[in-house]
Structures are given as structure tokens and as C-alpha cells.
Structure 1
């Protein structure tokens, strides 16, 4: 699988469903005449996929012309991993599998999943190996995403990169924060550079604090990484991928949309969400996106309150029609969106740090439904 530009949309729970991915791809196609990056589906749990949980199966929806189709798995068990990856391969559910070992959410780490799991080196290796083995004989690459580690005293990214490489992963991606940082503070790009020096035979992608095209170019210049993974930087800015496509292919970046164009994007996003979820759930889902879209724009408290309670597409259309269409996208509309919070100690299972070579599967770590 090759990409025309080294840009990946990071899977984000409740965000990167087929509606959002379609919108990003449409905007890139309209502005750049091509779709050149990789747009990854929301994370789904391997166990729920194997059990064909209805919500999970709905989350794996791809657009009719979406290619390549990329699916991220959350998993803690080599056997379940193999079954899920084999199901994806034999049933043609996706063209690429990414594996999530970066989630810092307490309900995940306290059971040994997400960003806690790479500390268990043998278990981590067996999980990656299981996914790769399940895809043997196919064109489906397996990639692995992880964080620097649990905290500054328990860094795992260099070992994780080496193990993933040795077990046959096609690429690795590093979110340059620890689990303790969650989404706070600054990403440590120096650790991406260190991983790139440590992993020599497969691509290394960098993730963290990329909010515009210049950030992406600077990360690659400073770290030597092979590509970038965009998470919170695209919230309320789905046109960011068009900008990245332009800079990576040597073209000038288009002027960011004014508020009238943003209103049209909101309308389109609402329509796509309604198509995927139905109007009721689609409108409940668009509310958080509207707050991100209007970040830094003048809208007024009353209009913002009404948009936060929008219930129908007609109502959404009328409300965004009240925005001043001529307001340009300025510096006040740039910068980070989404969760940031503060650092905190990481919840872990009792005795988790005692033996990094313990290969036992953590009990109950895969019982949550997808998207956690």
C-alpha cells in the first residue's frame, strides 16, 4: 500500500466515522484534485468485532469509493487479535489494519490495555505477531501506534518500535506523549527522532502538536520521520488534509475558508452524519463539531447555545445561515481544539509494573465496546 502524501488521519473515538472521513476526502479532492493520504476508521475492539457486535459492525462502515479502507483495532489478547485480523482479511472488511497501543483513558489502562500494554514486552510482541500472521498471503499491512510510555519513569517506545519491527509490522507511529500526559503539555518530538534512529527497516510516523501544514513540515525536518499522523489538529478543520496534500506535493496552500464556507462545510457534515446515523443521532453528534468549527469566529452566545441544542438538519441550516459569511479565517481561529486537560498518574492493574516480561493476557481488558 503506497500513499501519494505521507499523511494519516488518526482514529479518534466519536470523530473519525465514515461521515468525517468522507468530508475530509471530499475537501481534499475539491481543493487538490486528488485524495492522497490515509483516513483511518474509529478504533474498534477486536473482541467486539469477532463477536459481530452491531454497534461495532456499524462503526466499520466505509464509503463506497473509500480506498484504501483503514481500520484500527484495540486488542489485548493474541488469540482474539488473530481471529479479528483473519476476519478482516478473509471477509475483505479493510485494506489496512492499525493497532492501538496509545489510548491513555483510565478505564482502558487500569485493565492493562491501550498505552499500558507495551510495558508487557512479550505480550505486546505476541499480539503484533498474531495480527501479522493472520494477514499472511494478503496485501493487508499491519501498523502499530503507541506512546512514549506510561510515564517518564516507564518509557517503552524504543522497545515497542524494535519489537513491532521484528514481528513484521509495516510501520510504527509514535504519539510523542506519555500516557500520564494524556493530551496535555507539549509533544516531545525528540522522542520521534530517537525512535527513527532506533527503527531502521520500516517507516516511522510522528504524531502530536501538528495544527497546520508548517507544523507537519517542521516535525519531519526535526525528527527525520517518514510521515505525520493528524489527530486533534483537524477537529473543526477537515480541510487541513488538503493543505497537507498541497505542501507535500509542492503546491501552494489554498486560502483557509471564510465563515460562509465553514457554514457550508458544517451543513455537509451534518448531512453526512444524518445519512450514517439518522437525523436524531446525527444532530447530537454534530453539536461537538460545531463548537470546534466556530473556534475563534464571532458567533454570539445565543447562536452558540442554539447550535449546541440543534435537533434537525433544517434547524442546523437556518442557524448557520445566521453567521456572517464574510468573516475570514484568522489567527484567532487557529490553534488546538478538543481535549487537553492536565497530566495525571496512570491507572494500572495491581502489580502491573512488577514483571515486564509477563506474557499473560490482562483479565477483563477487552470487555468494553468499541470506541473507548
Structure 2
């Protein structure tokens, strides 16, 4: 039976969509700043590409994940494609593709480098052990990221060589490297430069924006207006790169975000700051006051993340004790009122409200 598409079932909002076959296998992951318009294009156009025609023929259901802005949809799509590797997605499947960060390496004399997050669960522990102190990103523009890498490296005199040479190269002679390899500056001086660069990354580039403004004004004072204009463009790009987003963050723990309604709960899995999955589940208990606690104690009886972020809980001490008694793990349960964790809860509420309305209209089935 072919999939019956109704445009009114989907919001005119930014988000990602997961097209699935009759077995629930994810065929394709996409994103849009207007989900209704994008999805309509699959079903109302005469497609000349055989690949798209085949995809549409296999679709049995479409799951959407709503986000706050276009930046979040770009980053979430990148994560979901790398995690699920859908057969109809060609781009972004490789781990060294998509949106990367800038980070200082773990070398004795660090350099600034491009970093792609590893989304393979088996690699997380190894990655965490060598995790650098600070990163900046992720960057939507590879061109801007590379230009920024060059500017920061030059500004702090950081080395660019992967293998340390014994003599300085051309970069030192043209003033783009400090020459630490040949002792032109001491190791302690070089490490101070890397410390300053690390602070800049930790502050999400705010110190860099001020530095760029100073450089732009210096170019303008020397009437080098083309360079000043280019510097202004870099500032604008950096300010955009710092746009608020909550779907791909830096974190050392795993979290589940639970938004409870009267009859269902939406569970969002966040692995080391990366939003991975949404599940709409039915609450079994008829007693609303105990349903929330019972759900948590049942679901996490054998295995739990490091933290649960919830909008409501009846007896937190009882729940924590019950889970610790079975898993021997000290579980953190948070009921935030503001900040990043509250924003995650609000994103869950946003998706819960959309999905519960679809359930009421018989358009979506919860996970048993």
C-alpha cells in the first residue's frame, strides 16, 4: 500500500524528517526550514531522478523532529545521517564530513586542527580519554572554518606541522610561526600562547571577535579597505557560528530528557551532547501521580544514562534509591527551571505537543 501524504499533517517549521519503510527502517534523513513545503515537493512533483522515485515508492511513514532554528536542523541532520547511515543518503555519511570543530591537539606542543566528532558508541570511551579541553564550533562553512584556523594559528604563532621538524621552515621567515621547533621561542612561551588560544576556544570565540575588530580597524587606518572588508565578513561569520543551538554540544555524560504529559512521555536521548533520538511512549499506570515515577523505575531498572532531565517527578529520592539498588549506579535527576537543560525540556515539549496532536488524530502510533 502506497504512503498517503497529507501536507496538513506536517508543520511549517524547521526540523528534520526521517523517511521509513514498512519495517521501520530509515531510508532517508533530510532537513528543512519549512518541513511541510519540503515534504510536499516529494509527492507533488514529477521527478526525473530514478532514485527519488524509488524512495517515494518505498516510504511507509515519515517521522519529523522539530527544532528551534535552521542551524539546529543542519546539525541534527548531520548527526542522524552519520548515526543511521540511511541507504538513500549519499552525503554526510563519512565521519570526516559535515560540520567540524577547531581544537587544540593533545601533543606536548599543541597545534590547532580540524576535528570531527566520532558518533560510534564503541569509540566514545577512547575519544573521551583524549578529549581536548576546549573546542570551537561546529562550523557550517568549511571555507570560513579554514580561514579562521589560519588566522588563529598565525595570531598566536602556533605550529602547523604534524611532525615536528628540527629547523624552522618558510612560515617562520614570513612571520606566520613562532619557530618553537628550533627554539626561537621557549617551550614555556609557546605553551602560554596555546593557553591563550585555549581560553579563546572556551569562550566560544568572543575574545577572537574583539581581536578581529581590532585587526579590521588597523587595516582601515592603513587604508587597506579590501582587507578590512574581509575581516568584517569573518566577524559576521563567527557571530553566526556562535548562534544558540542545543542539538550538538560538548558534554562528557549521557542524558535522557523526559517530558511527561497526561498519557504519554517523550524521551530524547542525548549522547555526549548530541541529540540522537526521540521516542513517544505510552504511560501504563492509570494513576497519574505515580505513573511518572513508575515509568522511570521500570525503564531504567537495568541500565540508565548518567542523568535524567525531567519536567515532573513525584518522589525523586525513592526513584533514585530504587534505580541505584538495581544498577549500583548513582543517577542524577534534574528538574531545571532555566538554562540549557530547561531548553532541552522545552524542545521535548515542542515535539510532544506536535506528536500528541497527531496521535489524537490517528496519524501516528506510539512505540509500545
**TM-score over 0.5 for the pair:** no
Larger radius of gyration: 2
Q: TM-score, normalised by structure 1?
A: 0.26
Q: TM-score, normalised by structure 2?
A: 0.27
Identify the structure with bigger relative contact order (alpha carbons < 8 Å, sequence gap 6+). Answer: 1
Structure with greater strand percent: 2
